[in-house]
Amino acid sequence: MFGNPVKWLFFILTSYLALNVVVSMNTLLTRKTYIVQMDRSAKPEYFTSHLEWYSSKVQSVLSEPQEEGDADEEDRIIYSYETAFHGVAAKLNEEEAARLEEADGVVAIFPETKYQLHTTRSPMFLRLEPEDSTSVWSEKLADHDVIVGVLDTGIWPESESFNDTGMTAVPVHWKGICETGRAFQKHHCNRKIVGARVFYRGYEAATGKINEQNEYKSPRDQDGHGTHTAATVAGSPVRGANLLGYAYGTARGMAPGARIAAYKVCWSGGCFSSDILSAVDRAVADGVNVLSISLGGGVSSYYRDSLSIAAFGAMEMGVFVSCSAGNGGPSPASLTNVSPWITTVGASSMDRDFPATAMIGTGRTIPGVSLYRGQRILSTRKQYPLVYMGSNSSSPDPSSLCLEGTLNPRVVSGKIVICDRGITPRVQKGQVAKEAGAVGMILSNTAANGEELVADSHLLPAVAVGEKEGKLIKTYALTSQNATATLAFLGTRLGIKPSPVVAAFSSRGPNFLTLEILKPDVIAPGVNILAAWTGDLGPSSLPTDHRRVKFNILSGTSMSCPHVSGIAALLKARHPEWSPAAIKSALMTTAYVHDNTHNPLKDASATTPSIPYDHGAGHINPMKALDPGLIYDIEPQDYFDFLCTQKLTPTQLKVFGKHANRSCRHSLANPGDLNYPAISVVFPDDTSIKVLTLHRTVTNVGLPTSKYHAVISPFKGATVKVEPEILKFTMKNQKLSYKIIFTTRTRQTIPEFGGLVWKDGAHKVRSPVVITWLTPLT
């Protein structure tokens, strides 16, 4: 049929190779966005501005225009960076980028990276008094001068959480502006929302022009995420806040007197690094004191991570940077935003819940949670047919996951359907069930979620249950010919024990980029958080949800991050002289590691005690952080010296050193010697090394005259000695140093965890301690 097979084989092979050549050439010539970092000090004098020089560099590497009217260098440059970072974002093909990387004055080039969002009772739970109380938090109006920049999806300015009644004039140091656009005008900014900007050039370069009919090309928030995080940071008190009657009470941000500057960097198709970098650069120039960034990408080397580099520049300018740890838990080493100059925040639960129950035909009542409040109510006096579309109770399949188009209406109509978690959003499963005619849904956790329950505002009566109870219900539905159930919704319940608990979704350590830097730093409330919401989207975020609410309840490290950002704003207001590292130290060394039953913090994914890879230094304790006693301070040069221990080349180090013309002092014997509040020692795979010594320096921010003594927990695999064991301070801001000597007794196959506490009778300055023995190569 094909004639000579050899001839056909030759034809197919040559066609394949030719196609590959065409594809490769297209790839080389396709323009993408690259972030170009420049050595600011290398600008020749004959250029009148840095931007003129940057433009000249880009122009010098451009390929010959292929067509009349092709983009020139003006079109190629989409951003210039001038404060936390120096350089441009430009549209280049691979060949042009490679040529530019070799040019004089170019420090580094980063390809565009896509980031994702990490998606009222918390002030009380954190023991923050109401704003009108006589507590130490409301003694002064100093917190009115603190400005928090929120990088997110924008802001819904009409929310009562952004009311500026009673606020003083905008701080004189503020240089930001209120950008206008569709449905967002100058008057939408006030003394609470002091600035609002949009960053979309990188997004449009990657995905095409924004459809302005479907999306606001302005600071207005269509998604809700940015409004929620901004209100969590610094929302004004709103009495009677609730979601469909749930969580009724006064909603307020962590720092209700602080100002908000909204930087919209995330759009319907994601968040892009060139836009994020421009927002950080602009925010620092505008005069923010704190940056709250509830988004992240994957982990890459310090010198290849544009957000890490921008955060380093912000830190150099005295700006505290708080980032979410990510929602990749409970998988180990799932963290993002792990640089030591960033405060990395994991998520925990609070002592508030939204109980609901599933009562099955056997008479058993299964506990769960839900935020359902709709017109369709199931009678608790009646049982409804129950169906599970999976084949067994342990292994989910497309039908059991209730994916789009997998439920047969003839099978599920009029019944309560059991759906397994996974693949699609939880609320979307309910929508699929509703469209197939189901009267209700039981949402079952799988092994990945364990027993952690996250409440959702479903579109049909639905209850979420844990993995064990889910298996029980599924087995019942599969083995009983006439399985039945009904659902009940019990409102809001307070005083839940144990709490807090580390959220199962919260990303975990270890930090494989640098084991000596323990991450996350702290955990904060991130489960079922009530805060302001957009007026453009229902509480489930589904397009079919036509309900409109002023507040919504969300979960994620996106919610825990702004808690820490807000507390950092309060600390900055009370201690304006504190560096970002000092604020982080105060949060970490005063964090607690026991729940409200006085037992060690638990891990929701396993109901076993959590470890520092899960909770970092512990759960934030704002009142204690106000007066930490001692702090571990870190200067920008110290962070640079830490980078000098990371086996980076001189060219790679330039990425961080050019702003202040830094060079390595070789002051750290190893990465663990960075003056970090957490202590992590790593014994190499060379078994002959049995003794390692780490060094720390503490600054007295308590009473001028004080005496601290050290208490170290015992370890099986090593003896740990602190020298000196007593620190005597005679003045405020005095610095004293100590060393910790680790001597291996028996190498352990898994890390060991403990703690070091410095006590003076009034303060307990606690550092988590981790000892790791690397496995010898065989």
| 219 within domain boundaries | yes
343 and 432 assigned to the same domain: no
* Confidence check: pLDDT of 66 > 60: no
Q: Counting Cβ atoms within 10 Å, is residue 695 exposed (0-12), middle (13-18) or buried (19+)?
A: middle
- Measured between alpha carbons, how far is 63 from 68 in angstroms, rounded to an integer? 14
Could you read off the pLDDT of 147-167 as tens digits, one per residue? 999 999 999 999 999 999 999
Instruction: Please give the tally of structural domains in the chain.
Output: 3
119-133, 458-472, 484-498, 569-583 — which is least confidently predicted? 119-133
308 and 373 assigned to the same domain: no
Could you read off the pLDDT of 342-353 as tens digits, one per residue? 999 999 999 999
359 and 305 assigned to the same domain: no
Identify the pLDDT of residue 64.
63
Q: What is the CATH number of the domain that holds 307?
A: 3.40.50.200
* Confidence check: pLDDT of 693 > 50: yes
393 and 316 assigned to the same domain: no
| Catalytic option among 370, 558, 560, 706 | 558
Identify the pLDDT of residue 9.
42
709 and 561 assigned to the same domain: no
Three-state DSSP class for residue 289: coil
Domain of residue 158 covers: 144-348+526-588
178 and 294 assigned to the same domain: yes
Q: What is the CATH number of the domain that holds 684?
A: 2.60.40.2310
- Measured between alpha carbons, how far is 524 from 265 in angstroms, rounded to an integer? 24
| Catalytic option among 39, 143, 145, 152 | 152
Q: What's the whole-number mean pLDDT along residues 423-434? A: 92
Identify the pLDDT of residue 141.
45
- Measured between alpha carbons, how far is 58 from 91 in angstroms, rounded to an integer? 9
Indicate the pairing of strand 259-264 with strand 147-152: parallel
| 573 within domain boundaries | yes
| Residue 152 is among the residues annotated as catalytic for this protein | yes
302-311, 520-529, 658-667 — which is least confidently predicted? 658-667
| 731 within domain boundaries | yes
* Chain CA centroid to CA 744, Å: 36
689 and 714 assigned to the same domain: yes
337 and 374 assigned to the same domain: no
Q: Is residue 67 very low, low, confident or very high in pLDDT (cuts 50, 70, 90)?
A: very low
Nearest to 531 by CA among 745, 124, 777, 229: 229
- Measured between alpha carbons, how far is 588 from 633 in angstroms, rounded to an integer? 12
Q: What is the CATH number of the domain that holds 457?
A: 3.50.30.30
- Measured between alpha carbons, how far is 767 from 616 in angstroms, rounded to an integer? 10
Q: Is residue 284 very low, low, confident or very high in pLDDT (cuts 50, 70, 90)?
A: very high
User: Which helix (DSSP H) or strand (DSSP E) does residue 52 occupy?
Assistant: helix 50-61
Q: Are 129 and 198 in contact (CB under 8 A)?
A: no
416 and 466 assigned to the same domain: yes
Six-digit token string for 553: 């309840």
DSSP per-residue string spanning 94-143 = HHHHHHHHTSTTEEEEEE--EEEE----HHHHTTPPPTTSSSGGGS-SGG
421 and 472 assigned to the same domain: yes
| Catalytic option among 225, 228, 458, 575 | 225
Higher pLDDT among residues 244 and 616, named by residue: 616
269 and 369 assigned to the same domain: no
Nearest to 370 by CA among 355, 349, 350: 355
- For residue 27, CA distances in Å to 19, 32, 83, 94, 272 come to 12, 10, 33, 8, 20
| 137 within domain boundaries | no
| 564 within domain boundaries | yes
| Residue 558 is among the residues annotated as catalytic for this protein | yes
Identify the pLDDT of residue 224.
95
Nearest to 454 by CA among 13, 445, 735: 445
Q: What is the mean pLDDT of the chain?
A: 89
363 and 460 assigned to the same domain: yes
| Residue 545 is among the residues annotated as catalytic for this protein | no
